[in-house]
């Protein structure tokens, strides 16, 4: 029998006896009880609780340390319209949180890898990457940041729709790639544009450096081409890759020394037309075509400039195509202009009032008509003309003879004159 059992039996026996303990026995009993309690093993309840708490804390710290972190961010800046960003961020261990953010014009948002954004049709924006690369986003663009690894100098973006303009700095190990449903565009230190025209059609143009465009067509064995500065390519599933020069830009039109802004429709009373322009394609010829026939050809200077001339054989409209021809033959898309050569002055300019050369009023109403669309000057001052070509003006006369000159000029600069004298009595 154990000590605890002995003590318990003794206490139960004493409880049944109606006795009074002697003081000496009471002291002895108390000492034995104290000794028994001291010999009994002590159980510390708080120790397992503390051990469990420490274990939970260790597990929490380990989960926190094992939770992946977003260490690289790209900055989305929206200039116009609205961008919708679908994002996902690590929360704890393998748990994540996600959501959709709306970024309006004038606002910024930090993008992480795998984020997807869609820009409104009227929107414009840009993405600045940690490696210094930038993407300009046109309206209705939808893309996903597939990879963003500054440590390996690698950035990949997947564009499902719309158009992006990329500017990639010239760093030795920097690699930048645009992926579309139909092609991939890989660059190092390049300025280029990529537009998704359809699921099977991607357009890409290189403005600086060189891009490598790969057509994602397994039937053709995934062909690739190099696209130098000033050239462009249409990557179309099922068709060969054809690299051609980009369409030129027109700096100015010089019409016999008179410089006017480049426009789609040019009217002049001069038969000679001189076109000066610029292209980023090098080692090419600039061509001027009228109704499909080459009228003039000029080499592009090392600075990318060219000058073409055309003389209209007769009055009329001439559709003009300005293009650039590569040394191996491909022709760029046309930059179209319509040149209207008109050397005939307005055929109508007549005075309707006053009907008599002599008047008595100090202020008279002068009324006349000319061709619709013509401009009228009275003694050098502009006069308002309505859509039918009728003009009316109140004119102050001096006593005696008042020479009057009416001049009507069309858009081409051809003018008709009418001179007469009004006498104030």
Give the pLDDT confidence score for residue 257 in this predicted structure.
72
pLDDT at residue 11 tops 90: no
Mean pLDDT within 308-324: 93
CATH number of 74-241: 2.60.120.1440
Mean pLDDT within 123-149: 93
Helices 3-16/23-39 angle, 10° precision: 150
| C-alpha dihedral sign at 183, 189, 192, 194 | positive
Residue pair 90/81 in contact (Cβ under 8 Å)? The answer is no
How many angstroms separate the CA atoms of 389 and 408, rounded? 10
Helix, strand, or coil (residue 11): helix
CA distances from 108 to 197, 232, 418 (A): 28, 32, 64
Share of the chain above pLDDT 70, in %: 88
pLDDT in tens, 201-211: 999 999 999 99
Mean pLDDT within 102-119: 94
How many angstroms separate the CA atoms of 206 and 138, rounded? 17
Residue pair 231/306 in contact (Cβ under 8 Å)? The answer is no
- Cβ burial of 413 (10 Å; 0-12, 13-18, 19+) is middle
pLDDT at residue 110 tops 90: yes
pLDDT at residue 22 tops 80: no
CATH number of 349-424: 2.60.40.10
Give the pLDDT confidence score for residue 18 in this predicted structure.
61
Give the pLDDT confidence score for residue 358 in this predicted structure.
93
Relative to beta strand 95-104, strand 82-92 is antiparallel
pLDDT band at 283 (very low <50, low <70, confident <90, very high): confident
Residue pair 364/337 in contact (Cβ under 8 Å)? The answer is no
Neighbouring residues of 274: CB distance < 8 A, sequence distance ≥ 6? 253, 254, 255, 256, 307, 308, 309, 310
pLDDT at residue 20 tops 70: no
Which fold is adopted by the domain 249-341? Immunoglobulin-like (2.60.40)
Give the pLDDT confidence score for residue 103 in this predicted structure.
95
Of 7-21, 208-222, 287-301, 397-411, least confident by mean pLDDT is 7-21
pLDDT at residue 85 tops 90: yes
pLDDT band at 65 (very low <50, low <70, confident <90, very high): low
pTM of the model: 0.69
Mean pLDDT within 319-334: 88
Identical fold between 249-341 and 349-424:
yes
pLDDT at residue 43 tops 60: no
> Domain boundaries in the chain?
3-39, 74-241, 249-341, 349-424
């Amino acid at each position: 029998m154990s000590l605890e059992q002995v003590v318990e039996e003794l206490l139960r026996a004493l409880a049944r006896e109606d006795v009074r303990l002697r003081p000496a026995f009471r002291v002895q009993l108390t000492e034995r009880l104290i000794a028994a309690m001291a010999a009994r093993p002590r159980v510390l309840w708080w120790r397992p609780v503390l051990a469990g708490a420490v274990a939970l804390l260790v597990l929490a710290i380990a989960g926190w340390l094992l939770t992946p972190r977003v260490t690289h961010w790209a900055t989305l800046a929206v200039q116009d319209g609205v961008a919708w960003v679908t994002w996902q961020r690590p929360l704890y261990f393998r748990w994540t949180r996600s959501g959709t953010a709306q970024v309006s014009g004038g606002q910024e948002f930090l993008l992480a890898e795998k984020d997807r954004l869609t820009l409104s049709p009227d929107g414009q924006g840009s993405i600045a990457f940690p490696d210094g690369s930038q993407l300009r986003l046109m309206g209705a663009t939808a893309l996903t940041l597939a990879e963003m690894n500054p440590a390996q100098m690698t950035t990949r973006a997947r564009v499902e729709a719309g158009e992006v303009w990329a500017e990639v700095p010239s760093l030795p190990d920097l690699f930048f790639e645009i992926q579309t449903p139909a092609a991939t565009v890989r660059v190092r230190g390049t300025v280029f544009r990529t537009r998704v025209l359809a699921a099977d059609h991607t357009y890409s143009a290189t403005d600086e450096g060189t891009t490598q465009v790969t057509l994602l067509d397994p039937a053709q064995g995934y062909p690739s081409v190099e696209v130098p500065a000033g050239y462009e390519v249409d990557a179309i599933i099922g068709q060969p890759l054809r690299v051609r020069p980009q369409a030129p830009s027109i700096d100015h039109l010089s019409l016999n020394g008179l410089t006017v802004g480049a426009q789609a429709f040019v009217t002049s009373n001069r038969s000679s037309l001189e076109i000066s322009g610029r292209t980023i394609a090098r080692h090419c010829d600039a061509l001027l075509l009228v109704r499909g026939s080459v009228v003039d050809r000029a080499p592009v200077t090392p600075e990318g400039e060219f000058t073409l001339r055309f003389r209209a054989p007769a009055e009329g409209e001439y559709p003009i195509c300005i293009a650039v021809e590569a040394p191996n033959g491909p022709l760029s898309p046309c930059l179209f202009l319509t040149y209207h050569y008109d050397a005939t002055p307005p055929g109508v300019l007549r005075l309707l009032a006053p009907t008599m050369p002599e008047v008595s009023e100090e202020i008279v109403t002068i009324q006349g008509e000319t061709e619709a669309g013509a401009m009228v000057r009275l003694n050098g001052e502009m006069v308002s003309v309505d859509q039918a070509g009728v003009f009316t003006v109140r004119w102050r006369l001096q006593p005696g003879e008042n020479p009057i000159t009416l001049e009507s000029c069309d858009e081409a600069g051809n003018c008709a004159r009418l001179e007469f004298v009004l006498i104030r009595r």
